[in-house]
Amino acid sequence: MKITVNAQDHEVASTTLAAVLLELEITKPAIATALNSVFVPREERPATTLSEGDRIEILAPMQGG
């Protein structure tokens, strides 16, 4: 399945958001996720199924003003 993660194209085998994070080896706890511009809470990642062409954003703490 082709999806986009942080604007990068990926071909993944996983079908849930939680599984994709593992597949892409994104294991750091200090991240937050959104699917197609909608926030997905941490506890909902395992039950969030993905579809072809989905856009995932994975954000982390960063310096800001």
Partner 1 sequence: MQIYDTEINSRLLVGTAQYPSPAVLVDAINSCRCEIVTVSLRRENADGSGTGFWDTLRQTGTRILPNTAGCHSVQEAVTTAQMARELFRTNWIKLEVIGHADNLQPDVFGLVEAARILCAQGFQVFPYTTDDLVVGEKLLEAGCEVLMPWGAPIGSGQGLRNPDALRGMRAHFPNVPLIVDAGIGRPSDACQAMELGMDAVLLNTAIAKAGDPAAMAQAMAQAVDAGRAGYLADPMERRNMAIPSTPILGMAELA
Query: How far apart are CB 18 and partner 1 at their closest, in Å?
Result: 15
What is the DSSP-derived secondary structure letter of residue 39?
E
Work out whether 6 is an interface residue with partner 1 (CB under 8 A): yes
Could you give the angle at the alpha carbon of 33 between the alpha carbons of 11 and 31, nearest 5°? Answer: 105
CA separation for the pair 61, 51 (Å, rounded): 27
- If one asks whether residue 31 binds partner 1 (CB under 8 A), the answer comes out as yes
Residue 42 contacts partner 1 per CB under 8 A: yes
- Residue 18, SS3? helix
- The binder of partner 1 chosen from 9, 11, 13, 38 (CB under 8 A): 38
List contacts with partner 1 (CB under 8 A): 6-7, 26, 28-34, 37-39, 41-42, 57-65
